[in-house]
């Protein structure tokens, strides 16, 4: 893994281009919540003149509270789509990048692929208690399971509004699916 500083991001990509890695393959984002308070941006480049060279990946970490990074769009036009996706779904701001929405409506507020984002649709639809959505042959005696992305009621929903707001790590730890749904008293 080649981890570079955010300030060195465009220069590190240009350095790989100078080494023959001129084919932009993909760019993605990973939420590192639970490990650190950062988002990790990954770019994959290929050298088409030497297919045996394989891909080269560069990683950069940005602070999740202010995720900002220079755009690779001036270097690779194809990076614009990937950056727009990361901007919408993770909230990363790419300086010099395309700002139009790609997948979500203009009215949508939130960052749906961040691990601390509450998936409200999951709380409104009854979960069948099966391992996978669509499995309907779950035994009737099986305990109802909570789907991934729905935090514990004490973290989200039934929390005292006068108390402190939950931190991202608390929400992420609480939103792990597969636990038995607790009965309300």
Domain of 15, CATH number, reads 3.30.460.80
Does any domain span residue 103? no
Beta strands in 1-101 (DSSP E): 2-4, 23-31, 38-46, 55-63, 68-70, 93-95
On whether both 69 and 18 belong to a single domain, the answer is yes
pLDDT digits (tens, 9 = 90+) for 17-56: 999 999 999 999 999 988 899 999 999 999 999 989 999 9
If one counts the domains in the chain, the total is: 2
Tell me which residue range forms the domain holding 164: 115-185
Domain final residue pick, 95, 127, 156: 95
Domain co-membership, 31 together with 72: yes
Considering the domain architecture, whether residues 85 and 122 belong to the same structural domain is answered as no
Tens of pLDDT, residues 99-124: 888 888 889 888 989 988 876 666 66
- Does this model's pTM top 0.95? no
């Amino acid at each position: 893994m080649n981890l570079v500083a955010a300030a060195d991001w465009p220069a590190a990509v240009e350095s790989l281009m100078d080494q023959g890695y001129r084919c932009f393959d993909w760019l993605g984002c990973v939420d590192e919540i639970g490990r650190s308070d950062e988002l990790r941006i990954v770019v994959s480049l290929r050298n088409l003149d030497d297919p045996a060279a394989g891909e080269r990946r560069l990683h950069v970490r940005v602070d999740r509270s202010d995720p900002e990074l220079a755009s690779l769009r001036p270097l690779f036009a194809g990076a614009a789509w990937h950056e727009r996706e990361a901007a919408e779904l993770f909230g990363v701001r790419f300086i010099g990048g395309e700002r139009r929405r790609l997948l979500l409506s203009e009215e949508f507020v939130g960052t749906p692929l961040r691990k601390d984002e509450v998936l409200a649709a999951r709380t409104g639809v009854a979960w069948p208690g099966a391992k996978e959505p669509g499995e309907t042959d779950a035994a009737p005696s099986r305990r109802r399971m909570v789907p991934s992305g729905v935090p514990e009621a004490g973290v989200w929903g039934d929390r005292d509004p006068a108390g402190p707001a939950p931190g991202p790590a608390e929400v992420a730890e609480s939103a792990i699916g597969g636990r038995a749904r607790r009965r309300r008293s």
